[in-house]
Structure 1
Amino acid sequence: MEELKKRAKEVKIIFFDIDDTLRIKDTGFMPDSVNLAFDKLRKKGILTGIATGRNLSGVVPEVRALNPDFYVTANGAYIVNSSGEVVYDNPYSPELAQDLVDWLKSVDSEYVFYGNNELAISKWGDLERDAMQIIYGDLKVDPDFNKSNSVYQILSLSDHDEDLVLPEKFTDKVRRVRWHLNSCDIVPINGNKREGCKIVLDKLGLPLESMMNFGDGPNDLELVDLPGLFVAMEISDDQVLKQADYVTKKVEEDGVHKALVELGIIE
């Protein structure tokens, strides 16, 4: 623990996942201790960021109200600062977006488009509601959204999603990251939270050792082996738990605030 506290003294910026880290995904509950933690970090001059698989429109009002300094969204493909200025912008090429849509249609999979600040779904049914509604509410249906909008990420959606295999022609361009039994994020091959957070640090002129991350899911695994600290929530994916520097309590047990106190970052 003393070694972790020593490393924690180097922390200058902390990124937080949203779902089941800052708030409970299924209920939307976020404890008051999260607001308290952000206030204390701000007073100590420690920067904060959101690092999420959601796009910007999916960053719920209570998280925006925390006033983080950066938003790393769509698994690192679109980054803005607290003033809304674009820090990084990496959409699919129009050709790649259409090729992915054609493949998903050929394997009987529905799909969701992530624009920079809006979403569209190919079809709206029970399976799609089960995966998406709790996060985004009702999505507009537009199977051709990609033809008139930039696309930063596509989600596959089907009852056979676990059986889908990405065709070889895509394997040097994108990869699939599971987040739901019936859905995977399809992200650029070099696009993830890790790269997004590194872009922010590079812009700030900070070393990787000065970063700390909180997360729980498979799309947080890329962050675990960075030189900075990684804190996993108690309910995290098994691989995340195994590789984390520190494991804290669940959201409803004030896990974020407790970890920051126990590591000596705030009081």
Structure 2
Amino acid sequence: MNKLDNIKIVFFDIDDTLTVKNMDNYLPPSVAVALEKLQQKGIDIAIASGRAKYGVIDAIRALNFDTFVMINGNYVEHHGEVLYSNPLPVEEIERFIAWCNDNGVGYGFTGSEACAVSERSDWVIECLDPIYYNAIVDAEFYRKHPVYQMWTFSDKPLEELIPTDEFPDLKFVRWHPYSMDVFSSFGSKANGIDQVLKKMNIDAKDAMAFGDELNDREMFKKVGFAVAMGVAHPELVELADFQTKNVEDDGILYALQTLGVIE
């Protein structure tokens, strides 16, 4: 049997997967068409993003997603209820803040309902404003709210500078030339997806995913069939079962129709 014959749920990244990030988060009409066809076949649709839910644009919220695997899998909502949460320990946050301060690196925090930055720098404006235009400046946000992910803001080569052996419980993933996601080494989109699959009693082989960036690697390894977008990172393409067109070229609809998941 073709491994696409029994797909029960499809997980979608957001940036450059459902929307075009450098085109003001443009959402092609073909995306809504594709998602509606999936739902008509009884296939569930879910978001799996590095964003928090408050960073999801209204146009995507209107597409009737019931499941949100957010903040790189560290915060999961299913039918409006929190299914899973994995906040960073305060002591780990404080250790990393100390390193950032010692090395002139800006930082930020992702909470479940709001986000904050240590300062409003040019890097923050370029990286974060297109997604979280309302991020507050509060270097002690973590003392008042659970934090599920941090960010770095710098033009320095942090992959070379951060002493990762001193932070074994943290994972560092670049998502922008001037920023990295920093979250629990035990967290990933795959872990969040696993919580959803267990809740819905779905086998991983019957799940499908679309993505484009390095934080989608674990997700691609988790699901039964993975589709890389046209602009996907080369490392992600190597993990994919299929590479489709760019989202602005109707890549979601093209892949699902070409693969026979929908008509």
TM-score bracket for the superposition, by shorter chain length: over 0.9
- In the other structure, the counterpart of 2:49 is 52
Does residue 1:81 correspond to 2:84, yes or no? no
In the alignment, what sits opposite 1:14? 10
Structure 1 stretch displaced more, 181-190 or 99-108 = 99-108
- SS where residue 127 of structure 1 aligns? helix
Counterparts of 1:202-217 in structure 2 under 5 Å?
Answer: 202-217=198-213
4+ runs deviating over 3 angstroms: none
Q: Are positions 1:177 and 2:205 aligned together?
A: no
Go from structure 1 to structure 2 and tell me whether the alpha carbon gap of 1:93 and 1:253 turns closer, same or farther (over 3 Å shift): same
C-alpha distance 142-230 of structure 1, shift in aligned 2 (>3 A): same
AA aligned opposite 1:68: F
Shift of 1:225: 2.4
Residue ranges of structure 1 left out of the alignment (5+ in a row): none
Secondary structure of 1:225's aligned partner: helix
Query: Can you list the C-alpha shifts for 1:18-68, whole angstroms capped at 9, x where unaligned?
Result: 000000012211111111111111111101100000111111111111111
Identical pairs, percent = 38
For 1:103, the equivalent position in structure 2 comes to 99
Deviates more, 1:158-167 or 1:250-259: 158-167
1:186 is paired with a residue whose SS is: strand
- State which of 246, 252, 255 in structure 1 corresponds to 2:248: 252
Aligned residues: 261
Are positions 1:92 and 2:83 aligned together? no
Q: Partner of 2:193 in structure 1?
A: 197
- In structure 1, distance between residues paired with 2:86 and 2:68: 14
Q: 1:38 to 1:227 in 2, by over 3 A?
A: closer
Letter in 2 for 1:92: L
Is the 2:208–2:223 Cα contact (8 Å) retained in structure 1? Answer: no
TM-score by length of 2: 0.95
Provide the rounded CA distance (Å) in 1 between the counterparts of 2:3 and 2:256.
13
Q: Deviations over 1:176-216 (max 9, x none)?
A: 01111111111101101111111110111111101100000
Alignment-mate amino acid for residue 76 of structure 1: G
Distance 1:228 1:167, change over 3 A: closer
Residues of 2 paired with 1:161 and 1:105: CA distance?
16
Give the CA deviation at 1:161.
Answer: 4.2
TM-score (norm 1): 0.94
Measured on the aligned residues, the alpha-carbon RMSD in Å equals 1.3
